[in-house]
Structure 1
Amino acid sequence: MRVYQWNLVFGIVWSFIATIQVGLHPFNVGVALVAGIGGFVAGVVSARGTAGRIEKNGGEYRASRKRTLIVVGLGLAFGALLFYLILSEALSLNALLEFYSLYVGIPALYFGIAVGFRTWEARNGKEIMWEGRTFYSVPKGLSSQEKYQYRAEQWYRLRIRNSGEQEASSKV
């Protein structure tokens, strides 16, 4: 499945979760509006940055483990802080209920990513695919077998190019 399609699926699932959340708790329109617009813009910027890295690296971009660990670590730290504030009663539940409207930002983020990737695909005539942490682009209109073959050739070309660069840098 293409990247933008996965992000649409994630966005739809999170939209249902946000809708249930709004039904159970008071909804702050101002907070939801800021979260929605901010999430959408952040998603578009993130997708354009990733697409730019794909172009720059010859059709493939693999997020580093360091970047992935930093994002996961920051998420866990924020979750732990929020958990502590709730249990120590430093953060009142009334204030917390106001921020349940931030759930709107999560599907907006996914929809922004989908729009960013789809816009890049329309401009460049390629499809962005995704395997684990690796993003890569393939020409539009290929069958699944042709995509697999193109991907294997692309992977081989990049490995040859990278090994040539390493040999050249080690000789200097």
Structure 2
Amino acid sequence: MKKYTYRFFDMNGDGVPELMVFGNMMRYIHILSFDTKTNKVELLDLEKAGSYFLGNNKMGAWRGGTGLTYEFYEVDENGDRNSKIFFHSEGYLNDITKQEDAVYMVGFGRGSEETENYKSLAKEMGEQLFIKDGIYFLRISKEQYDQVTQNYFKSRKVAEENIKKVTYTFDELFGNFDLSPSKKSSN
């Protein structure tokens, strides 16, 4: 427990700070919330490693593999993810020019309000939507990609600095507890 990293701040805006626990060998970030109605600590969410906090209830994540996908979303007071948007870029060998080229896309999850607007926009532009893992992607230019991701990457940089203010070691947050098994007295 002492090797983990702890973040303690009001992530979902309900006035009560959440506790985030993660470490090098953990596959998930555990987000614990105190429910003032029941006076109990509850597991609010499990975020996959690779997720990061952008402040308040906003989070980001990245996925590697074929290309690179960045994800932005908000977490409400129940731990539900809302307002998802995805940015994807991927290099490939252009068969025509025989040169390295890249594709840039922006996407929304299936069933979101944005998806219907997205479908109309793609139709107007004469573009086709790509569906990958339940996400509707629209191909855009590098300039458009740079424009729509500009604020995302700025907020990520600011968050990296601000998150240091709410990041603690075990001892800083909980005091100097002895975590070794208690020894029973022989008396």
Q: What TM-score, normalized to structure 2?
A: 0.28
Instruction: Considering Cα pairs closer than 8 Å and 6+ residues apart, tell me whether 1 or 2 has the greater RCO.
Output: 1
Q: Give the strand-richer structure, 1 or 2.
A: 2
